[in-house]
Structure 1
Amino acid sequence: MTFVVTEACIKCKYTDCVEVCPVDCFHEGPNFLVIDPEECIDCTLCEPECPIEAIYPEDDLPEGQEEFLEINRELSEKWPVITAMKEAPADADQWVDVPGKREHLDTDMPEQDD
């Protein structure tokens, strides 16, 4: 089983969860975090660390959040691993209770300079 980052994380991207992950299964995008289901060991450490309750076990996803299992899988293949806590976006607190944030999910990573 894996844990899944859900819609609540969009535009908030608090990284408290990243610090406690023993297997570095979190990946960072422009305004969202995802969990790689192939790396997640179901340790449960990340779930209580999320200040906005955006992380759930795959078998306990809230109604309407089921698509995020596949979103986490797909984006974890594209986005880089994040292993250390970072500052949340400056406007993160303003997005905490905003419903329907799926339309704001930014999946495009900026081009990397070599």
Structure 2
Amino acid sequence: MTHVVTDNCRGCRYTDCVASCPVACFHVNEVRVYIDPAVCIDCSACIPACPVHAIFEEFDLADDQQHWIRINAEAAQRYPVIRTRLAPLDGADARRQQLGL
């Protein structure tokens, strides 16, 4: 099993999850982060670190969220590894409020 970043990350890109990860399994692009399933050790440290509740264990994903497993795996091959925390994107707080968090 692995952990998966879902759509809640898009537009905010809080990287508290990255700072909690012991194995550098996160990859980043201009709008969000992804988890590389080949590197993730399933420690779950990232789940409570995410302020927008975007990270789930693969087996906890709803049926309509299963596509995120493939998206994370593919994106991890395209985007660079992120090892340190970045500032959230402009508008991240508004996105978080929009999500009701």
Aligned ranges for residues 15-54 of structure 1 at < 5 Å? Answer: 15-54=15-54
Instruction: State how many pairs are aligned.
Output: 99
Task: Give the superposition deviation at 1:64.
Answer: 2.1
Unpaired segments ≥5 residues, structure 1 = 100-114
TM-score by length of 1: 0.82
**What's the % identity of the aligned pairs?**
43
Which portions of structure 1, spanning 4 or more consecutive aligned residues, are displaced by more than 6 angstroms? none
> Larger helix proportion, structure 1 or 2?
2
Asked which structure has the greater CA Rg, the reply is 1
Task: Measure, in 1, the Cα distance between the counterparts of 2:53 and 2:64.
Answer: 15
1:63 positional shift: 4.2
RMSD value over aligned CA atoms? 1.2
Partners of 1:97 and 1:60 lie apart in 2 by 24
Unaligned runs of 5+ in 2: none
Aligned partner of 1:85: which letter?
Answer: R
Letter in 1 for 2:62: P
